[in-house]
Amino acid sequence: MKKLITSTFLLLLALSCDNKGIPVDLPSCIQDQIKTVALNSNVRSPERASVEAYLYNGQRVYVFNPGSGYADWLYTFYNEDCQVVCESGGFAGVNTCPDFNEKAEFLGVVWRDSRP
């Protein structure tokens, strides 16, 4: 019986740590980016990875910032259905949403890497 209780406790503990502070109401593509890119990166400071939400052209979009250490990062803007709305940045200076800065309304940071 003691082994069963200990096993159950360890299983619950492992399952509760799986999301690592990732909000469950984020689109699956954003959750996947956080899990695979941000949490597997060795970059911790000075700038930490984050996800920001904006209202752009009548839809909520999410922008993943991988943090410092990514000099040539291409920012991909996703809507709530995980469809790519536009892209910006990179070495080539891609910008498929040139009006984003004028039209987008910042809604807030929805996730930030809190590891030391």
Give 115's strand partners.
Answer: none
Report the predicted TM-score, pTM, of the whole model to 2 decimal places: 0.72
pLDDT digits (tens, 9 = 90+) for 71-85: 677 888 999 999 999
Instruction: Please count the other Cβ atoms lying within 10 Å of the Cβ belonging to residue 79.
Output: 16
pLDDT digits (tens, 9 = 90+) for 17-66: 445 678 888 888 888 888 876 666 665 555 677 899 999 999 999 998 87
Contact present, 84 and 76 (Cβ < 8 Å): yes
With a CB cutoff of 8 Å and minimum separation 6, the contacts of 100 are 54, 56, 77, 86, 88
